[in-house]
Amino acid sequence: MLLLGGWFDPFLPTQLADFQAIQSRQDYPKVADESRFTIGPWGHASSVKLPPQNLEIPYRKASILPSIPWFDAQLNHGADTRTQPKVLIFVMGEYRWREEAEWPLARTVYTPYFLGSRQGANSLSGDGTLIPSRTTGGRDTDAFTYDPEHPVPTVGGAMLGDRSGMQLQNTIESRQDVLVYSTPVLEKNLEVTGPIKAILYVKTDAPSTDFTSKLVDVHPDGSAYNLSDGIVRRRYAQPQGQMHVPEKIEIDLWPTSNVFFKGHKIRLEVSSSNFPHYDRNPNTGDSLATTTEMRRAHQQVIHSDRYPSQIIMPVVP
């Protein structure tokens, strides 16, 4: 099989799961040996513009290029799949294609970055931090109210249609219901390539609610562009209108490949909605198909020694 995907394609995670399943099939070694995967800076069969130069890698042309030699090899027209990379990825930031031998990359160092704040992480006006060591001092909890009548709007991401891709997030980050955690200015380049997971310790007074995460690349001029995002919807115990005990949740963000350059910042946004990319949770615990009621949910994200909220990033040396 030849698989073609994009960093902003909503089907990418399942494509990657398919590829890994193919590679694990010991009973069909030829299938595993000759299958290939290309991941470009695309949406679903569509091009996207990459900041800051609005670079666009044309989907149609770029996806055909690896297809022709692969089909030639399968149809015995002289090409040899052994000369083609097992995995071909486009590394954003550096704007270049790179050949790899597997997915995920074997040399990946899964690195935690811990959330913290002193006065509060609400919006860009807050002081949320994201650092490789556990934070000390300051607050151990950030809080916000999620109102499904006024959800955080979707701006870019892995979707169908022309709204997918990388877009400015600064307006989103001005909202009080968006927690913003940023690293200090990077002193050297840092590559993140692979699957990403946010591990959060949360509290809510709703019987059912959502938590969202978004990884963002902040340029030296302050422009913030989305790279990947994810969401978790689940029920919580003790729905009597009281704040529950902290519960651990894990949010799988979209796989990505990006170099955060020296002078940039890495940012994590945490909220409870990303609409209409994901449908809003009315916070009632009732059937989403039939409910007509909505309620506000009071949310907390805890970051302390006991509850170390963090994002696990696939750092490539």
Q: How far apart are CA 281 and CA 123, in angstroms?
A: 21
Q: Choose among 90, 67, 51, 86: nearest CA to 219.
A: 51
**Residues 123, 126, 130, 135: what is their CA dihedral angle, to the nearest 10 degrees?**
-140
In this structure, the answer to whether residues 155 and 294 fall within a common structural domain is: yes
Q: Choose among 310, 186, 291, 316: nearest CA to 253.
A: 310
In this structure, the answer to whether residues 173 and 309 fall within a common structural domain is: yes
**pLDDT tier for residue 243 given thresholds of 50, 70 and 90:** low
Structural domain of 276 = 109-316
Domain boundary among 44, 67, 100: 100
In this structure, the answer to whether residues 88 and 9 fall within a common structural domain is: yes
> Which of 147-156, 215-224, 239-248 shows the lowest mean pLDDT across its residues?
239-248
Mean pLDDT of the chain: 92
Decide if pLDDT at 167 tops 60.
yes
Domain boundary among 66, 100, 134: 100
Tens-place pLDDT, residues 16-62: 999 999 999 878 888 898 899 999 999 998 999 999 888 888 888 88
Residue with tokens 């963090």: 310
Question: What's the pTM?
Answer: 0.94
Decide if pLDDT at 240 tops 60.
no
pLDDT recorded at residue 136: 66
The CATH code of the domain that includes 297 is 2.60.120.260
Number of separate domains in the chain: 2
**pLDDT tier for residue 154 given thresholds of 50, 70 and 90:** very high
The CATH code of the domain that includes 58 is 3.40.50.1820
Q: What does the chain come to in residues?
A: 317
In this structure, the answer to whether residues 229 and 260 fall within a common structural domain is: yes
In this structure, the answer to whether residues 286 and 139 fall within a common structural domain is: yes
